[in-house]
Structure 1
Amino acid sequence: MGRPGEIEFAQLLFGGIGIMVMMALAIVIFVLLYQRKLHFQQSRLHQMEMLHQKKILESIVASQENERERIARDLHDEVGASLSAVRLFVNQIQYEKSPEEMKGLAARSGQIIGDVVKDVRQIAHNLSPVIIENFGFAGAVKILLRRMEDAGMDIRCAIDDPADVLSSYQQLVLYRIIQEVIGNVVKHAEASEITFDLHHGSSQLSLLMSDNGKGFDIHSSQKAAGMGMSTIRTRTDLLGAKLELSSAPGEGTRFRIEMPV
């Protein structure tokens, strides 16, 4: 039988070893649980990221389809109708005996063909960003707004050219958003005035577009879809920007876009 001191030392030794083993097991269990939780969180984040990317892809595809539908509609409604009218005039010329009538039909056909050329150029302009290359972002936007002014609208415009803070891709996406919004004003707003204000600092760009038109119910998904809001939001997301929309029947519409630069 060992001496009391040795027994006490052995008990302390085994007790310390036991505590250390328990602490080691606790650490192992904690690490395993932490890794399991971390893996679960990473898996969840990955799923959320995949879902977000899927939604963006679906929005891009929808945007492309909407663009194709718009082009087809423009070709059918404007170019197709005009060419059909020209065809009727040309066919009628062969049955006319009076030179004056023939000249009149030819002149009307030539006028319509001139309009068709303008329509085709406009459709091509909407497809191609060449205007930005030729006139710069600010110049291209001013051309858009000048067309609205020529149509009788009162335009209030202030543009701080963002060419120094935005890449070519960002300028193109932002230009497409502006095109879509202005197109909505022309097609739906029945407005007489457009306010356009774009300015930027060293870290943020702000764009405000508003009109005094009839407005709409922003909670109506059908109305928002008709105004291409999904396309505008998708392009805004591509810029990493924040979009604020406010409108109500009879109160006009206001778009505000803020994005980091």
Structure 2
Amino acid sequence: MIREQGLSEVQILKEIAELLNEGTAVNQTLSEVLKKLLHVTGLETGWIFLIDDKGKYVLSAQETLPPALSISNCEPMCNGDCWCIDRYNDGRLEKATNIIECKRIEDAIEYKTGETNGLTHHASVPLRVGQEKFGILNVGSPHKVHFTKKELDLLEAIAFQIGSALKRMMLTIREQENALTAERNRLARDLHDSVNQLLFSLSLTARGGMEMTNDPDVKETFSYIRDLSQEALSEMRALIWQLRPRGLENGLISALNAYGQMLGLKVISEVKGVVCLPCKAEETLWRIGQEALANCKKHSGELNITLQFISENQKVKMLISDKGCGFNYDENKELPSLGLKSMKDRTEALGGTFILKSKPGDGTTIEIHIPN
């Protein structure tokens, strides 16, 4: 396949390396590299699965899939098991393998779900650096049922390049997240030490002014200033909580209980199952919970809130509900507020499902489902 393109192995590796060195976004970079790989090798079809340490996979890049695999937004590639992933997860897929028949293609032929364009087999190559594994590179062409050792060696070298780039990009993302957390903590400290203290001083000054005057109009003005400053102080404390979630180190439920108490709510919590959430998932649920509790405080007219956290069947479910005034909601229309849209976006960013239930006079329930 290399001779057909007139490129040496060194030239191919150089072109792939240049693309990988420029990449910063994982999926975009993998798509560009896969397209380049197929072009310079003369192969026609390829796809990349990224696989986490629990064996869960996502289709991160694909190029020129036959109709049987690309139907319904590549649905056949995003669900179910296959031999290459099974071999990867149980440790049998350690190097470029020649050749794995494609179970997904065989299923498509058996159930007549679409044209396969002559694709029956593919080579599978693990993406790895040292002992760290990131996923699988699969490549093939119509009617090609054999890869030479030279071809497999080249694919393995390219897979090592991709694995090294994935490691670099993931480290960069982690550094950026750490930097963002540090910046939020700095802002929280600054707000607490400056604006928060000024508002507290203003509240005390207004109270003192009320006690020093007998003029009803002046007393009423000071009372108004005191009430405004206390309301602003409460909003500021809530903002500081959002920037710097104190108490999250004691667990998500504990933090949400404390946040609800700070808002003046009584949170009745119930936990079923035990789960250790990744930091990103825990912080996302924390942010969603904050927004939901704040909405309860502002709009429901009810101070008793129910918080349920359920872990079962490799899924986590969080429900926050009140028995307050509720509102008219049509699930076929757009969400009625920016806060609700934010909760939905955060949920879906984790591959989860956001459910809102509300009726006038019957309260509101926010239900979050995310994979664990």
TM-score with structure 2 length normalisation? 0.38
Q: Equivalent of 1:191, from 302, 308, 317?
A: 302
SS at match of 2:255: helix
Task: Report the Cα offset of residue 37 of structure 1.
Answer: 8.1
The 1-side partners of 2:202 and 2:333 are apart by 37
Counterpart check, 1:169 vs 2:280 = yes
The 2-side partners of 1:228 and 1:166 are apart by 24
Task: Report the Cα offset of residue 224 of structure 1.
Answer: 3.3
Matches within 5 A, 1:207-246: 207-219=318-330, 224-226=335-337, 228-246=339-357
Q: Greater relative contact order: 1 or 2 (C-alpha under 8 angstroms, separation 6 or more)? A: 1
Task: Report the Cα offset of residue 221 of structure 1.
Answer: 8.8
The 1-side partners of 2:65 and 2:228 are apart by 69
Q: Equivalent of 2:243, from 127, 149, 169?
A: 127
RMSD after superposition: 4.7
Task: Report the Cα offset of residue 156 of structure 1.
Answer: 2.4
The 2-side partners of 1:258 and 1:191 are apart by 25
User: After the TM superposition, which segments of 4 or more aligned residues of structure 1 sit over 6 Å from their partners?
Assistant: 111-114, 220-223
Matches within 5 A, 1:18-167: 38=66, 45=73, 86=202, 100=212, 115=230, 119-133=235-249, 135-148=250-263, 150-151=264-265, 153=266, 155-160=267-272, 164-167=275-278
The 2-side partners of 1:225 and 1:246 are apart by 13
TM-score with structure 1 length normalisation? 0.52
* Residue aligning to 1:252: 363
Distance 1:130 1:161, change over 3 A: farther
Deviations, residues 197-253 of structure 1 (Å, cap 9, x unaligned): 112136121222211111111128999332622111101101211222221111111
The 2-side partners of 1:44 and 1:201 are apart by 29
- Give the number of the structure whose residues are more often strand, by fraction: 2
- Give the number of the structure whose residues are more often helix, by fraction: 1
Instruction: Point out where structure 2 has 5 or more consecutive residues left out of the alignment.
Output: 1-43, 45-62, 75-190, 214-218
| Bigger Cα Rg | 1
Letter of the 1:139 counterpart: S
Distance 1:43 1:243, change over 3 A: closer
SS at match of 2:277: coil
The 1-side partners of 2:68 and 2:257 are apart by 52
8 A contact 1:208–1:257 mirrored in 2? yes
Q: Across the two proteins, how many residue pairs are aligned to each other?
A: 181
Aligned sequence identity (%):
22
Distance 1:127 1:161, change over 3 A: farther
Letter of the 1:144 counterpart: Y
Distance 1:186 1:222, change over 3 A: farther
Letter of the 2:236 counterpart: V
